[in-house]
């Protein structure tokens, strides 16, 4: 490795960063694309219900639909706010 290329590789190239970000994003979006159309609405409604009891942010809930040959998995992930002790509860609901 020559001196020039040593300096060149000192930090990741922006194109490399771009590619990695895109790979993650596109994979995520493709997953969403195949998801049933009621998911966003369900996400909003769940959020509204949770907010009756706990104050959470808009991004505190994530919903994913996974599918394999025999069954679908609906994964709902809710992050509750940290309380005084700095604990984070992450109850996970899973159902088929």
Residues in the site for other proteins, rule: CB under 8 A?
Answer: 4-5, 8, 13-16, 18-19, 21-23, 25-26, 29-30, 33
Nearer to other proteins, 4 or 49 (CB): 4
- The set of long-range contacts for 46-51, using a CB threshold of 8 Å and a minimum separation of 24, is 46/76, 46/78, 50/78
What's the closest the beta carbon of residue 67 comes to other proteins, in angstroms? 16
Q: Give min distance, CB of 42 to other proteins, in A.
A: 21
Whole-angstrom Cα distance, residue 52 to residue 56? 10
The residue to which tokens 């808009």 are assigned: 58
> Nearest distance from residue 78's CB to other proteins, in Å?
27
């Amino acid at each position: 490795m020559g001196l020039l290329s040593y300096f060149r590789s000192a930090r990741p190239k922006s194109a490399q960063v771009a590619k990695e970000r895109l790979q993650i994003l596109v994979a995520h979006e493709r997953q969403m694309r195949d998801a049933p159309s009621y998911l966003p609405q369900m996400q909003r409604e769940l959020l509204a219900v949770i907010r009756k009891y706990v104050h959470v942010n808009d991004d505190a809930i994530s919903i994913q639909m996974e599918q394999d040959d025999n069954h679908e998995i609906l994964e709902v992930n809710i992050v509750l706010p940290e309380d005084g002790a700095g604990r984070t509860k992450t109850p996970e609901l899973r159902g088929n």
